[in-house]
Amino acid sequence: MIIIISLILVLDQLSKLIACRSLYLNQSIPVIKNIFHITLVHNRGAAFGLLRNQVPLLICTTFFAIWLIYVNLRHSPGGKKFSLYRISLGLVLAGALGNLIDRIFYSYVIDFLDFRIWPVFNVADSAITVGAVLLGWTLLKGPKTK
């Protein structure tokens, strides 16, 4: 689990560093014109810009979410074994940590992946989304019975 979380964190922070060094704020470079662009934005809110400029609240909420995920990982069925449930929690945790680092150091989250039909996002956001979908699926699927 530590490897997955570390890999996502490094990929997230490295990609944000490259975006910040390659673009100026609000600059957009088309990769596939009108479909996918690299656009540097500073998100001062949560998902979809909700709770804009509420940095202390977002930081506290993120710390609480990280603590809940950590407790769940420590006490999840199967112990330290890999499971889709544990992987989904690890993805959400890695994404939360990646965006928390931005909020603590910059008071905003660095976003740069722009599909034009969706708000601009980053690697951490992707990890949170994939993790949340997997988590929902594993919870809806329920435990296997013999």
Please give the positions annotated as active site. 111, 125
Distance (Å, whole) CA 66 – CA 73? 10
Distance (Å, whole) CA 55 – CA 44? 7
Half-sphere exposure of 72 (CA within 13 A, CB side): 16
Describe the strand order of the beta sheet including 28-32 as a list of residue ranges: 28-32, 36-43, 109-114
